[in-house]
């Protein structure tokens, strides 16, 4: 068994989930250090979790520890620079969503992967629960028939104090609003399950909060299969819910949850008198009951490190959700439908989600 030295950059609220994921791997990972600008918080986390070293400077940590893998869990606007630095230092990266602020930044990271031979995987824990994996296998095997109609609704609530953290609510430091920071989780699962999209129309707005970025968006999506989708993301919905409904030729599959799901959050059904009634028991029988969490994705990432091959939710699989969100924003801000693959280097939405940035020099 290979053991890898791992470090964490960032000591915010999500750090405990990442530490739990690292500990769940047993002896496969040696948690060597944590870095954050808040020294007191670092000290407390190290003491609570028996982490031997802390740093207030990521560069210093990378030079001293020389980790094989780094978890980047800092504010979203810092992901790109830190991920690029980790790659240059010879580490693989497991980075929280969104991986970076734009398609331009993503393509720079892809070039850095090619130069260094190391890989970046972005967090997409909703894909890795047992129910999601089971459904993906059924879809790929064609058991449910063609996808027809999909509803993807992230209806969450973020009060004003949430945005009073200095980096939140601004395009420059949060990279986008609820669409990219909250809705991205369920959206990624939806697009992964329903297949490649071809066109998106959208609206986005800032409702009842003194912030720059959106806290509501709604999108209509055409899929290459001919299916149609409706995606709503909200940060102003007092009764919070994450709801996914996928209608196939032979069955409807639904998930009602909030931040995590287990098998009991999913249900399969079919129409009255369906000839597929006998298949329903098979479709809804899931052998394991694993929560969609960082633990499952991290274990698979380590398997990829063992084989020195690109991990899940990396490369094209990581770019697809970023391209979709950039296209959604472009559709919302221009009032025009956007086709997949049309945001290129001559497009301002290639450089920023709000289309307000200009080309930058290669890092």
- The pLDDT tens digits of the residues spanning 267-285 come to 999 998 889 888 999 999 9
Question: Is residue 343 domain-resident?
Answer: no
Check whether residue 120 and residue 229 sit in a common domain.
no
- The pLDDT tens digits of the residues spanning 277-335 come to 889 999 999 989 999 899 999 999 999 999 999 999 999 999 999 999 999 999 999 99
Check whether residue 189 and residue 228 sit in a common domain.
yes
- The pLDDT tens digits of the residues spanning 18-46 come to 999 999 999 999 999 999 999 999 999 99
For residues 214-220, average pLDDT: 98
Instruction: Tell me if residue 281 falls in helix, strand or coil.
Output: helix
This prediction's pTM: 0.95
Check whether residue 210 and residue 105 sit in a common domain.
no
Check whether residue 277 and residue 134 sit in a common domain.
yes
Question: Is residue 329 domain-resident?
Answer: no
Nearest CA among 214, 226, 152, 163 for reference residue 189: 152
Residue 21's domain comprises 4-125+295-309
DSSP 330-363: HHHHH-S-EETT---TTSGGGT-TTS--------
Statement: residue 75 has pLDDT above 90: yes
Check whether residue 219 and residue 275 sit in a common domain.
yes
pLDDT score, position 316: 96
């Amino acid at each position: 068994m290979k053991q890898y030295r791992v470090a964490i950059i960032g000591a915010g609220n999500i750090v405990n989930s990442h530490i739990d994921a690292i500990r769940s791997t047993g002896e496969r990972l040696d948690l060597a250090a944590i870095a954050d600008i808040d020294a007191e918080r670092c000290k407390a986390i190290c003491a609570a979790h028996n982490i031997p070293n802390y740093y207030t400077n990521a560069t210093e940590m990378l030079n001293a520890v020389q980790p094989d893998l780094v978890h980047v869990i800092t504010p979203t606007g810092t992901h790109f620079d830190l991920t690029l630095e980790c790659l240059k230092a010879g580490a693989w990266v497991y980075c929280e969503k969104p991986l970076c602020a734009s398609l331009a930044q993503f393509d720079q990271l892809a070039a850095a992967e090619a130069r260094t031979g190391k890989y970046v995987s972005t967090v997409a824990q909703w894909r890795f629960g047992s129910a999601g994996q089971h459904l993906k296998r059924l879809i790929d095997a064609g058991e449910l028939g063609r996808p027809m109609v999909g509803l993807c609704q992230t209806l969450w609530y973020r009060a004003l104090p949430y945005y009073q953290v200095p980096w939140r609510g601004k395009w420059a430091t949060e990279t986008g609003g609820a669409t990219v920071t909250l809705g991205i989780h369920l959206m990624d699962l939806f697009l992964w399950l329903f297949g490649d999209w071809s066109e998106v129309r959208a609206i986005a707005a800032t409702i009842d909060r003194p912030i720059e970025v959106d806290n509501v968006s709604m999108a209509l999506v055409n899929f290459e299969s001919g299916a149609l989708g409706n995606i709503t993301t909200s940060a102003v919905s007092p009764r919070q819910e994450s709801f996914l409904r996928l209608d196939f030729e032979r069955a409807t599959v639904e998930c009602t949850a909030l931040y995590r799901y287990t098998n009991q959050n999913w249900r399969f059904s079919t129409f009255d008198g369906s000839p597929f009634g006998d298949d329903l028991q098979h479709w809804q029988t899931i052998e394991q009951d694993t929560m969609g969490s960082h633990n499952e994705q991290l274990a698979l990432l380590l398997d990829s490190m063992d084989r020195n091959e690109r991990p899940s939710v990396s490369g094209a699989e990581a770019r697809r959700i970023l391209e979709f969100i950039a296209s959604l924003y472009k559709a919302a801000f221009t009032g025009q439908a956007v086709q997949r693959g049309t945001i290129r280097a001559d497009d301002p939405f290639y450089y920023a989600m709000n289309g307000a940035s200009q080309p930058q020099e290669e890092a």
